[in-house]
């Protein structure tokens, strides 16, 4: 298998005792299952991490490592979801095929060294493409939309073209889950066309058994830990199930891209996905 109100700040207060999980978009009546057995998947790759899963059909949440699930960290390339939404909504991205010319600077990721359309830029997580999109959007407009979405800490910092990479902007896994759930149901404050285009570019696998949509992210936090994200949903029998995996490690020798992929795939397989039976 190829597997590369919402957004309010989480406040771990005493109500946690009664609600079990004071998450961004779930009420105290939401059923929560703490699954510590999922630790084995993170241990296999010697990484810390969290996993949160929403069965939208039943409303039940399955979660591992709630303390990390509530902590904010840089979104890295998962911010391309929001950067795309804002770009399309403001007309800075006309559609999924809009090409931005390569600036001629050779980068270590060879896939980025060419002219590229938005769909391909999203798939290969092309940082230079989305840095240019952010510059075209501009600071004031970007800030307006971050505030409107209540996206994490809503901070841009000093640089409009790298704030999602340099630890200025931070978001929790729980808030990420709220974002993709709202995106799926056209509940974000964007036109339906805008949300539809982004859902389509997030689609990674689509077959008779399931549809898998996600965005990955990779970066370094302020403690120099490697951070890896996978944020999205899996759809079977026309029912969506939302998930967020976050992994972190100080060990630079660990293959974060492989770890986040394998951990997420293994957990979803354990839950019974990818067979069209959910």
The catalytic site residues sit at: 77
What is the Cα–Cα distance from 49 to 89, expressed in whole angstroms? 33
What is the Cα–Cα distance from 73 to 153, expressed in whole angstroms? 10
CB atoms within 10 A of CB 111: 13
DSSP 36: G
**Residue 90 main-chain phi, psi, to 5 deg:** -90, 0
**3-state SS assignment for residue 161:** coil
For the chain, the helix, strand and coil percentages under 3-state DSSP, each to the nearest 5 = 35, 20, 45
12: which 2 tokens?
């771990």
**Residue 232 main-chain phi, psi, to 5 deg:** 175, -150
């Amino acid at each position: 298998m190829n597997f590369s109100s919402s957004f309010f700040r989480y406040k771990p207060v005493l109500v946690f005792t009664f609600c079990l999980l004071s998450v961004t978009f779930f009420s105290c009546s939401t059923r929560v299952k703490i699954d510590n057995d999922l630790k084995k998947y993170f241990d296999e790759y010697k990484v810390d991490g969290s996993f949160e899963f929403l069965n939208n059909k039943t409303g039940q949440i399955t979660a591992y490592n709630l303390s990390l699930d509530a902590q904010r960290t840089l979104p890295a390339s998962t911010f391309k979801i929001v950067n795309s939404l804002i770009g399309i909504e403001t007309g800075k991205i006309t559609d999924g095929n809009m090409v931005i010319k390569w600036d001629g600077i050779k980068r270590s990721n060879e896939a980025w060294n060419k002219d590229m359309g938005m769909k391909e830029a999203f798939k290969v997580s092309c940082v230079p493409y989305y840095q240019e999109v952010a510059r075209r959007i501009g600071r004031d407009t970007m800030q307006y939309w971050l505030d409107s979405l209540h996206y994490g800490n809503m901070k841009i910092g000093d640089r409009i073209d790298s704030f999602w990479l340099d630890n200025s902007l931070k978001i929790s896994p729980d808030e990420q889950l709220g974002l993709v759930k709202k995106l799926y149901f056209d509940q974000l404050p964007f036109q339906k066309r805008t949300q539809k285009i982004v859902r389509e570019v997030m689609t990674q696998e689509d077959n008779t058994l399931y549809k898998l949509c996600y965005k990955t992210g990779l970066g370094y936090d302020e403690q120099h830990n490697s951070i890896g994200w996978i944020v999205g949903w899996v759809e079977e029998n026309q029912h969506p199930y939302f998930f967020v995996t976050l992994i972190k490690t100080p060990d630079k020798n660990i293959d974060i891209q492989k770890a986040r992929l394998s951990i997420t795939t293994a957990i979803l397989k354990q839950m019974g996905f990818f067979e069209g039976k959910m």
